[in-house]
Amino acid sequence: MDSALSDPHNGSAEAGGPTNSTTRPPSTPEGIALAYGSLLLMALLPIFFGALRSVRCARGKNASDMPETITSRDAARFPIIASCTLLGLYLFFKIFSQEYINLLLSMYFFVLGILALSHTISPFMNKFFPATFPNRQYQLLFTQGSGENKEEIINYEFDTKDLVCLGLSSIVGVWYLLRKHWIANNLFGLAFSLNGVELLHLNNVSTGCILLGGLFIYDVFWVFGTNVMVTVAKSFEAPIKLVFPQDLLEKGLEANNFAMLGLGDVVIPGIFIALLLRFDISLKKNTHTYFYTSFAAYIFGLGLTIFIMHIFKHAQPALLYLVPACIGFPVLVALAKGEVTEMFSYESSAEILPHTPRLTHFPTVSGSPASLADSMQQKLAGPRRRRPQNPSAM
């Protein structure tokens, strides 16, 4: 997980910026302000809309859109798993050819990016299809075994509208694969972030505090304690970060002096903010106090990160500033309103997610609406079967 915010405008290329043999000229104040403002806006969009979609996702009955719930045990293990993954990537880049590793990663994220972007734009695209559009239903089904032992590996239903969205997303995918253009990178990064906030659910506030606290230590250690995260981010050519050029005003779309923000700094606070939105709804007071408080706290924390980074001219672990803000502000509001007990006793999975599975593996592209919902109901009513393995979530 890349979760450092970097600023290469001082001539260096930290945390993933492209390297040159010559020092870049310093960016203009206007270019820097535009880059930082754009990064902030790009971070806020998937959090806001992903949180809203997480509520609909939690209340929905489609098995294809069932969220994955993170428990306290998952949260405690996550920083360890992330550290092992980060160190493993670091060793891979040191031992093996960076070119071949990035080729494999590019193909992997090419597929994931297309699927994530298709899922993201599908609700918006459906509004543009006319009522007379010839929409046909399709099904992709893979099973294992026979008779009563038959298990569904993939049961993916889709329609013509889904194919159109997939085709449009594939154009972006090819553009990214061939050019590695920063706009294509950001389209994939925004799609990954929105899907993460929408589909990854914390089961309660305590779990969120464990997850954010653990990743707070993870982020600080790997950014300030070693050069591992910066080295991996430099070498890792994948849409795992949002970027914006600071020399856009001078060079246009071919600009290459990037400020960047790791997707971990969007998704991790984002799923906590989405949890607080669902908590607001559970209070049935027709207010979103905790959601707006945490959203404002995120803006404050990220703004402080950018300010500190700009002053010290060094990549910053954004979670160092985001975690205290995103946890502290809502807790202070709860103390003022006398709702601390309600906040920490709220169970998202019990309130509106009665049948949400635990996050025990990485979920996959699983498919669609009707048949998967029927399939889930049959599984709940019939003999217990092994849950399909889903390898595709971020």
Q: Taking 80 as the threshold, does the pLDDT of residue 219 lie above it?
A: yes
138-189 pLDDT, tens digit per residue, is: 888 888 888 778 888 877 778 888 899 999 999 999 999 998 899 999 999 9
State residue 67's pLDDT score.
Answer: 81
**Can you tell me the distance from the alpha carbon of 298 to that of 306, in angstroms, rounded to the nearest whole number?**
12
State residue 26's pLDDT score.
Answer: 67
Give every CB contact of residue 310 below 8 A, 6+ residues apart in sequence. Answer: 7, 32, 36
The catalytic residues are 219, 265
Q: Taking 80 as the threshold, does the pLDDT of residue 264 lie above it?
A: yes
335-359 pLDDT, tens digit per residue, is: 999 999 999 999 876 544 444 444 4
Give every CB contact of residue 45 below 8 A, 6+ residues apart in sequence. Answer: 190, 194
Please give the span between the terminal C-alpha atoms of the chain, in angstroms, as a whole number.
10
State residue 355's pLDDT score.
Answer: 41
Mean pLDDT score of the chain, rounded to an integer?
81
Q: Which residue has the higher pLDDT, 139 or 66?
A: 139
What are the helix (H) ranges across the chain?
A: 29-59, 72-95, 98-125, 160-179, 182-199, 205-220, 228-235, 248-251, 264-283, 289-312, 319-337, 340-345, 348-351, 369-381
Identify whether the C-beta of residue 295 lies closer than 8 Å to the C-beta of residue 40: no
Q: Which of the residue ranges 214-218, 226-230, 259-263, 296-300 would you say has the lowest mean pLDDT?
A: 226-230
Structure pTM? 0.80
24-55 pLDDT, tens digit per residue, is: 666 788 989 999 999 999 999 999 999 999 99
**How is residue 271 written in tokens?**
């799923």
State residue 363's pLDDT score.
Answer: 43
Q: Taking 50 as the threshold, does the pLDDT of residue 235 lie above it?
A: yes
